[in-house]
Amino acid sequence: MSEKQMVAIQTKKKTKLVTIQRMAFYHMMKVVEAYDEQHQCYLLFYYKNQYLTYRKVSALPMCCRLKSVFSDGILINAPHPLIEQLITGTNTFTFQSFNQLLQKAEQHFSNQETSLIFSFFDSFIPKEKIISLMRNKYNQYRRNGQFFKAYQIIKVCLDYAPENSWARDMSHNLQYHPFETLYDEGGPSLLYKDPLYVEIHSFSNRHDQHYFSQLQEKLSQEGRWMDQILLYIDQMMNSKDDVSFASFYSLLTSQLKERDTTYLLFDLLENDVQIPELRQALIDLLIKNGQYEDAINVIMDSHSAVSSTQYHQVQTLLEQKQLDTSKLRIENMNHILVHETEPHRLEKMLRLCLPILLKKYDFSFTHQWLKPFRELNVTLPILKKVNTMAAIKDDPENQLQLGELYFEFQQFEQAIDCFSFEMELNPKDVRPIQWLAKAYRELGKKEESLAYQNILAAIQKRA
């Protein structure tokens, strides 16, 4: 994803770009927090993923209902694929006054929804005016004899302002007693008759498995997959209850591009969500898209035991010729390999790792990295060779042997240093010359390789 997510805000004078910082999801509302170059804050309001309006603020209001949005809601930081999904449908974000917003809400939403929407603007509209709006909606229903709908408005008002005396008094009206029983019992009938209340109540109690499942079902029926994903993410990060990863992953793969799915899975891992199926799904996705280095790192960064499948995946990936070893966090590999019980498999894996280690770190680090394997009390040819290297690396009499070992581990630059030293020390010995020709050839330096071949031919001719 790009480093910044930006949108165009239409002000009175001009259109300006603002950078999104984060998004909050609370009940059916989403509030996007964005800033211009002068650090002026803009809040973009959405209801059920439909853009409503924006408000300019000197600082993020941490009072009234916005406090609940950002303290009790689900927060995601930009850049984020779900923020991208939310803002994509709007080209320019326009300002709606109170009356314009009311007219728009009354055209597209029910009175119950309109009452809920305006409760989120109490940082900009006096609370009394919002309560008055709710009372007007309530009275409309009462006059029409729609007592249950009138009671629904009371429930919205009580959720917003539980201390409001009018709403509390009206809720105790004997006419509404049968409705109170319905709300107390809950169940499918309440979901059918007042889905808005059920969603509000379920969201507030979303970390309870019953309400989480109820809310997921409602969102699924309404096709609000983005909210479903946000709810799954929140549950995985904040609840100890088991989450159906299969359902979550199915939702991701059916609604998002693979790169966005990868981003979300990475983000969950970085937030210490330890679900084995999540890690394996990410690994498989990375391998599918040729991101071999990332796949290896995900496996090696595991805090839990590596599965046999993942172990074999690492082995296969390390053998890839196009692997960019500079991206590998190979230093984490020893805590995984040390659990290998088959010596021949461990030997093979260490032979794959050693060239990468020696290329990225010095010999001392590599030798220390192998310490856990030396403590296994198992005989491995590769350990014997590294121990030999440690013993002779400062011995001028054994530079040829040291160079051969460096060559074996594909460290051709170090091998050349050893062979060059040996050639100066023993100019009549053709072996370092032969090795120098080979080493330069491996480095792709054909001219240097040919030069040593010519030197070797001249020596052999004189002999």
| Domain-located, residue 154 | yes
| Domain-located, residue 376 | no
- Calpha distance 74→69 (Å, rounded): 8
Using alpha carbons only, give the angle 285, 286, 291 rounded to the nearest 5 degrees. 155
| Domain-located, residue 384 | no
65-77: pLDDT as tens digits? 999 999 999 999 9
- Calpha distance 431→444 (Å, rounded): 20
Pairing verdict, β 41-47 and 92-93 = unpaired
On whether the CB atoms of residues 354 and 366 are closer than 8 A, the answer is yes
| Domain-located, residue 388 | no
DSSP H or E run through 451: helix 446-462
Contacts for 295 with CB less than 8 Å, ≥ 6 apart: 283, 286, 287, 313, 317
Contacts for 334 with CB less than 8 Å, ≥ 6 apart: 369, 370, 372, 373
- CA distances to 92, 331, 349, 384, 404 from 380, rounded to whole Å, are 66, 20, 12, 7, 18
Q: Are residues 79 and 120 in the same domain?
A: no
Q: Are residues 91 and 118 in the same domain?
A: no
Q: Which residue type does 330 have?
A: I
- Calpha distance 449→457 (Å, rounded): 12
Length of the chain: 463
Q: Are residues 181 and 229 in the same domain?
A: no
- Calpha distance 336→11 (Å, rounded): 57
Q: Are residues 114 and 186 in the same domain?
A: yes
- Calpha distance 425→447 (Å, rounded): 24
| Domain-located, residue 189 | yes
Residue 177 pairs in a beta bridge with none
| Domain-located, residue 381 | no
| Domain-located, residue 340 | yes
What pTM does this model have?
A: 0.86
Q: What is the mean pLDDT of each run of 10 residues along the chain (463 residues)?
A: 85 91 97 95 96 91 88 96 93 92 96 98 95 97 96 97 95 91 89 95 95 96 97 91 90 97 96 91 95 93 79 88 88 87 91 93 95 91 96 96 97 97 93 97 96 91 75
DSSP state of 306: P
DSSP H or E run through 129: helix 127-143
- Calpha distance 262→94 (Å, rounded): 33
Q: Are residues 74 and 165 in the same domain?
A: no
Q: Are residues 83 and 103 in the same domain?
A: no
Q: Token digits for 399? A: 């530079």
Is 240 in a helix, a strand, or coil?
coil
On whether the CB atoms of residues 418 and 366 are closer than 8 A, the answer is no
CATH number of domain containing 415: 1.25.40.10
Boundary (domain end) residue, out of 253, 273, 293: 273
Q: Token digits for 103? A: 């007219």
| Gyration radius (Cα) of the chain, Å | 33
> Which residues form the domain of 257?
212-273
- Calpha distance 219→359 (Å, rounded): 52
On whether the CB atoms of residues 32 and 23 are closer than 8 A, the answer is yes
Cis preceding-peptide flag for 79 (omega within 30 of 0): yes
Q: Which residue type does 289 have?
A: N
Q: Are residues 334 and 299 in the same domain?
A: yes
pLDDT of residue 373: 94
Helix%, strand%, coil% for the chain, nearest 5: 65, 10, 25
Strand runs labelled E in 162-240:
none
Q: Residue 173 CA to chain centroid, in angstroms?
A: 50
DSSP state of 37: T
Residue 8 pairs in a beta bridge with 17, 92
pLDDT of residue 62: 75
Boundary (domain end) residue, out of 273, 293, 309: 273
For the chain, the maximum distance between any two Cα atoms, rounded to a whole number of angstroms, is: 119
pLDDT of residue 1: 62
On whether the CB atoms of residues 252 and 261 are closer than 8 A, the answer is yes
Q: Are residues 398 and 309 in the same domain?
A: no
| Domain-located, residue 380 | no
Q: Are residues 415 and 320 in the same domain?
A: no
- Calpha distance 444→294 (Å, rounded): 28
Boundary (domain end) residue, out of 222, 257, 273: 273
pLDDT of residue 344: 92
Q: Are residues 24 and 57 in the same domain?
A: yes
Total domains in the fold of the chain: 5
Q: Are residues 178 and 237 in the same domain?
A: no
Q: Are residues 196 and 101 in the same domain?
A: yes
pLDDT of residue 2: 61
